[in-house]
Amino acid sequence: MKKKNIFVKLLGAFLVPIVMMIVLGVVSYETASKSTMEKYEQSASSTVVSVAEYMKLLTQTVESGTTELLTSDQVKNYFGMNAGSKDKNKEATSYNEMKDLILKQTSSTKYTANVHEFAQLGRPVSSTTKDSPTKVAFPDGAYDEFLKREGAVFEDSTVKSIWMGTHPYIDETTGITTDNYAFSFVKRFTTGKGFLTIDIKMDTVAEVLGKMDFGKGSSASIVTADGREINIQNGEVTDAELYQGLELTPAEGKDSVSEYVDVGGRKYLLLAAPVGETEMIVCALIPEASILEEAAGLRNTTVIFVLIASVVAIMIGIILSSDIRKTLNTISRCMQVASEGDLLVQIPTKKRKDEFGLVSKSIGKMLGGVKELLWQVQKFGGEVDTSAGQVAETTSQILSSMEEVNSALGSVEADVATQAQDAEDGYQMMAAFGDKINHMNETVDSMGSMMQSTIGSIQRGTTMVDELKRTATATGKITRELVDNVENVNEQSTAIARIIETISDIAEETNLLSLNASIEAARAGESGRGFAVVAQSIGKLAAQSMTAGSEITGIVASIEEATRTAAESAGQTEKNVDYQMKALEETVSVFHEINDTVQALVSNLQGITSGMTELVGDKDDVLKKIQAVSQASESASAATTEVTASISEQVEFLKGLTKDAENLQMQTRELEAAMSKFKI
């Protein structure tokens, strides 16, 4: 096996912390770089969100101003009352007041580029014609044409206002270009058919986007709902389409987008945040390379310090390794001389003040001790040789005597073991017989318990049948009372029927009397009119009495039918109860017979149980006596075995002792031969 030089080992040991320093540098750079990028991304995302919030505030201000204009008295008076007025002076005055108010919007705010207002009825207004009092920006039918083009979304009556990036129809009509404005707010009139459009200056939007300066190659943009992109790159406004196909809508629960995307084969950090509810989005694209430049200085510093630390560590390792190797080589040569038998050698490194000096002094002391030890060993070797011879002779005599004793004990051990085994077999057979007796006794006890349980169950059954018999007797009595009551109801129903017949006869007679009275009253003429009314009332009462009598007759017939059915059911129930009484009496008789039989069986089992208990007691006494004999035999066998084993061990020990004494004599002679090689 090839030996490894200690210089190489020490140098390798110094390389381990160097490698760890390099790893630490790499990990530190990666961690710091990642942290720097995360902080940069968070800062950039916060900037985009802040700009989006600023744009949201701007759009809310525009929306609020637009609402104030449309709800102003000047706009409502003109488009609400005077736009179609036949009084030209009144119309002109109202129009000029409204126009002045609208045009002030461009001069009173820094962000307004143009204002346009037109309706289905009335003259339009546009800040593009404010220098010409006679020029009209929009022709007739502008409202309908706008609805057909960019205003088509207002066909939905629920849409009140929108933000758009371009309005081609207004641009073509007024002669303005998209360079003049960034985006526009269009709001429908609250009353009447018309629109108010406010264009936001491109310079205002460019100034806001310019605050998002993320370095070379980056872009700050705003994307409108209709897809127009306004981009700021290197301080210049461009209309390049950078965000086509990119997802700009934040995920649910987030207020912005922050992710890396590929654009034109390069990797960019995409940041996006919505502008309120305008459907416009503030965006930014930052090259990944620009972000990584932030960590370049940290990387260079880390590399330089790691290189310097590595060079210093390697130099220190080389110097220390060379010194240690030189010292160890000197000590190794001296120890080689001592190993060949020359213990008079001197180690020259004792003058060192470090640990190697201590090692050298310790080695010198060790060599002195070894010389003293070797002298004592030479002296002791002769004495050991003489004693070993005497021990070998004595041990041989003792060994012969112990072998004779061991042979005699072997015969005794065999006889005692046979006796112990026979006693154990007898005990096992008696124990098995005792288990059978115990099992039989347990079975008899279990049968007795079951018989007692059976007697209890029979007694409970007898009690329950007696209770059932009493209940059946009560049920029969109730059934008979029910039959009597039903018959009584039937008799009462017959009496009611007779009364109803009498009432019906009286009603018929009353009805005839009423008819006769009516005829007589008719003959009497005017003087009998009051009597005719009374006769008519009596006739009605008689008719109602007959009707009521018929209904009661029907009810009585139903009662008679129900009572007849109840009487039949009660009669059948009474027969069933009588049959049940007879069956219960027979059941009670059977239960008493079963109880007598089980009582006799329990008495016999008690006699068997008493005999089994005595048998179990005798069995236990026999087992104890057999077990005592078995234990005595086992104790004797164990004692004999232990004595035999002890003597056998002593025999083996004496054999080993004899052999050791012989080996000791041989080793003593070899030691004397080896000691003659040393110089002491």
Shared-domain flag, residues 381 and 524: yes
Distance CA 348, CA 330 (A): 8
Shared-domain flag, residues 289 and 384: no
CATH of the domain at 510: 1.10.287.620
Q: Over 60: is that where the pLDDT of 238 sits?
A: yes
Last residue within a domain, chosen from 297, 314, 338: 297
Strand bridging mode 161-164 / 181-188:
antiparallel
Shared-domain flag, residues 277 and 378: no
Distance CA 235, CA 206 (A): 9
Asked if residue 351 belongs to a domain, the reply is no
Return phi, psi of residue 294, to 5°: -65, -30
Residue 408, number of CB atoms within 10 A of its CB = 11
Of all residues in the chain, the percent with pLDDT exceeding 70 is: 76
Confidence of residue 186 (pLDDT cuts 50, 70, 90): very high
Confidence of residue 198 (pLDDT cuts 50, 70, 90): very high
Residues 559, 562, 568, 573: is their CA dihedral positive or negative? Answer: negative
Strand bridging mode 229-233 / 236-238:
antiparallel
Q: Over 70: is that where the pLDDT of 131 sits?
A: no
Which residues, in sequence order, are CB contacts of 501 under 8 Å at separation 6+? none
Confidence of residue 412 (pLDDT cuts 50, 70, 90): low
Shared-domain flag, residues 288 and 382: no
- pLDDT, residue 626, reads 66
- Full-model pTM: 0.45
- pLDDT, residue 310, reads 77
Asked if residue 357 belongs to a domain, the reply is no
Q: Tell me the residue range of the domain where 397 lies.
A: 372-673
Shared-domain flag, residues 389 and 500: yes
DSSP3 helix / strand / coil % (the chain, rounded to 5): 75, 10, 15
Confidence of residue 385 (pLDDT cuts 50, 70, 90): low
- pLDDT, residue 308, reads 84
Distance CA 650, CA 647 (A): 5
Mean pLDDT of 207-230: 89
Shared-domain flag, residues 171 and 45: yes
- 60-69, 395-404, 635-644: which has the highest mean pLDDT? 60-69
Alpha helices in 139-237 (DSSP H): 142-148, 168-174, 202-210
342 DSSP 8-state letter: B
Distance CA 322, CA 313 (A): 14
Q: Over 80: is that where the pLDDT of 457 sits?
A: no
Is-contact 52 273, C-beta < 8 A?
yes
- pLDDT, residue 311, reads 79
Asked if residue 548 belongs to a domain, the reply is yes
Residue type at position 613: T
Shared-domain flag, residues 273 and 410: no
Distance CA 245, CA 263 (A): 10
Last residue within a domain, chosen from 297, 323, 346: 297
Of all residues in the chain, the percent with pLDDT exceeding 90 is: 16
Confidence of residue 231 (pLDDT cuts 50, 70, 90): very high
Residue 62, number of CB atoms within 10 A of its CB = 22
Shared-domain flag, residues 284 and 383: no
Q: Over 80: is that where the pLDDT of 164 sits?
A: yes
Cα of 11 vs its chain's centroid, Å: 53
What is the torsion angle, in degrees rounded to the nearest 10, for the CA atoms of residue 442, residue 448, residue 452 and residue 458? 120
Last residue within a domain, chosen from 297, 325, 356: 297
Write 391-395 long-range contacts (CB < 8 A, 24+).
391/657, 391/661, 392/658, 392/661, 392/662, 392/665, 395/654, 395/657, 395/658, 395/661
| DSSP three-state, residue 131 | coil
- pLDDT, residue 61, reads 94
Q: Over 90: is that where the pLDDT of 161 sits?
A: yes
Asked if residue 361 belongs to a domain, the reply is no
Shared-domain flag, residues 420 and 523: yes
Distance CA 13, CA 15 (A): 5
Distance CA 113, CA 661 (A): 124
Write out pLDDT tens, residues 472-491.
677 777 767 776 776 776 77
Shared-domain flag, residues 287 and 389: no
Asked if residue 94 belongs to a domain, the reply is yes
Shared-domain flag, residues 255 and 398: no
- Choose between 318 and 224: higher pLDDT: 224
Shared-domain flag, residues 274 and 420: no
Asked if residue 535 belongs to a domain, the reply is yes
- pLDDT, residue 460, reads 79
Which residues, in sequence order, are CB contacts of 513 under 8 Å at separation 6+? 538
- Choose between 284 and 40: higher pLDDT: 284
679 DSSP 8-state letter: B
- pLDDT, residue 453, reads 77
Asked if residue 214 belongs to a domain, the reply is yes
- pLDDT, residue 239, reads 76
Q: Over 80: is that where the pLDDT of 361 sits?
A: no
Q: Over 90: is that where the pLDDT of 447 sits?
A: no
Q: Over 80: is that where the pLDDT of 232 sits?
A: yes
First to last CA, the chain: 35
Is-contact 637 417, C-beta < 8 A?
yes
Instruction: Look up tokens 């003597």; give the residue.
Output: 647
Residue type at position 571: G
- pLDDT, residue 202, reads 93
Asked if residue 468 belongs to a domain, the reply is yes
Mean pLDDT of 89-100: 90
Distance CA 394, CA 322 (A): 63
Mean pLDDT of the chain: 78
Question: In 3D, which of 65, 273, 254, 276 has the Cα closest to residue 163?
Answer: 276
Mean pLDDT of 121-139: 74
- pLDDT, residue 408, reads 64
Q: Over 60: is that where the pLDDT of 134 sits?
A: no
Instruction: Look up tokens 């030189």; give the residue.
Output: 326
Cα of 611 vs its chain's centroid, Å: 70
CATH of the domain at 102: 3.30.450.20
Q: Give the number of domains in the chain.
A: 2
